[in-house]
Amino acid sequence: MLVILNRYFYFLLIGLFFFIACKKSANQTPQLPTPAATLQGTASFPMGSAVTSYNLLNKYNYFTTLLTEYNSLTADYEMKFDQTEPQQGSFNYTAGDAIVGFAAQHHLRIHGHNLIWHQALPAWVINFKGDSLAWENLFKNHIEGEATHYKGQVASWDVVNEAIRDDNGALRNKDVNAGDGSIWRQHLGPDYIARAFQYTHEADPNALLFYNDYGQEWGGPKLDSMIAMLTKFKNRGIPISGVGFQMHIDIHVDTARVSSALKRLAATGLMVHISELDISLNPSNDQSLVLSNQLLYQQAALYQFIAESYRANVPAAQRYGITTWEFSDGDSWLVSWLKHKDWPLPFDSDYKKKSAYYSLQYGLTK
pLDDT the model gives residue 4: 39
pLDDT the model gives residue 133: 98
**Catalytic site residues?**
162, 276
Q: For the chain, report the end-to-end CA distance as a whole number of angstroms.
A: 15
Q: What is the mean pLDDT of residues 217-231?
A: 98
Q: What is the pLDDT of residues 20-34, one digit of tens each?
A: 333 333 333 333 334
177 band by pLDDT with thresholds 50, 70 and 90:
low
CA 223, CA 166: separation in Å to the nearest integer?
Answer: 9
pLDDT the model gives residue 304: 97
Report the SS3 class of residue 10. helix
CA angle 243, 245, 246 (to 5 degrees): 130
CA 107, CA 96: separation in Å to the nearest integer?
Answer: 16
Its domain, for residue 135, covers: 46-363
Calculate the dihedral angle through the C-alpha atoms of 169, 171, 173, 178, rounding to the nearest 10 degrees.
50
Q: What is the pLDDT of residues 275-314, one digit of tens each?
A: 999 999 999 999 999 999 999 999 999 999 999 999 999 9
Please state, as a whole number, how many other Cβ atoms lie within 10 Å of the Cβ of residue 203. 20
Mention every residue, 6+ apart, whose C-beta is less than 8 A from residue 247: 214, 216, 217, 258, 274, 275, 276, 277, 278, 306
Q: Is residue 20 part of a domain?
A: no
CA 115, CA 162: separation in Å to the nearest integer?
Answer: 11
pLDDT the model gives residue 248: 98
Structural domains in the chain (count)? 1
- What average pLDDT does the structure give for the chain? 91
pLDDT the model gives residue 174: 78
pLDDT(176) > 70: no
Backbone angles phi, psi at 138, to 5 degrees: -55, -50
38, exposed or middle or buried, with CB in 10 Å at 0-12, 13-18, 19+?
middle
Q: Is residue 22 part of a domain?
A: no
Q: Is residue 2 part of a domain?
A: no
Half-sphere exposure of 243 (CA within 13 A, CB side): 28
CATH of the domain at 288: 3.20.20.80
Backbone angles phi, psi at 351, to 5 degrees: 65, 30
Report the SS3 class of residue 75. strand
pLDDT the model gives residue 21: 35
Q: What is the mean pLDDT of residues 210-226?
A: 98
Half-sphere exposure of 207 (CA within 13 A, CB side): 29
Q: What is the pLDDT of residues 304-363, one digit of tens each?
A: 999 999 999 999 999 999 999 999 999 999 999 999 999 999 999 999 999 999 999 999
Q: Note whether 329 and 351 are within 8 A (CB).
A: no
pLDDT the model gives residue 30: 33
Nearest partner of 139 among 160, 116, 162, 121, judged by Cα: 116
pLDDT(179) > 50: yes
Q: Is residue 4 part of a domain?
A: no
Q: What is the mean pLDDT of residues 266-273?
A: 98
Q: Is residue 111 part of a domain?
A: yes
Q: What is the mean pLDDT of residues 261-276?
A: 98
Nearest partner of 249 among 285, 288, 217, 295, judged by Cα: 217
Q: What is the pLDDT of residues 139-163, one digit of tens each?
A: 999 999 999 999 999 999 999 999 9
CA 281 to chain CA centroid, nearest Å: 19
pLDDT the model gives residue 178: 62
Q: Is residue 5 part of a domain?
A: no
75 vs 7, which has greater pLDDT? 75
pLDDT(6) > 60: no
Q: Is residue 9 part of a domain?
A: no
Nearest partner of 161 among 85, 244, 263, judged by Cα: 244
Q: Is residue 31 part of a domain?
A: no
Q: Note whether 207 and 156 are within 8 A (CB).
A: yes
Relative orientation angle of helices 293-313 and 2-22, to the nearest 10 degrees: 90
- The pTM of the whole model exceeds 0.85: yes
CA 271, CA 165: separation in Å to the nearest integer?
Answer: 23
Please state, as a whole number, how many other Cβ atoms lie within 10 Å of the Cβ of residue 14. 13
pLDDT the model gives residue 12: 36
Nearest partner of 306 among 279, 333, 284, judged by Cα: 279
pLDDT the model gives residue 28: 36
Q: What is the mean pLDDT of residues 212-236?
A: 98
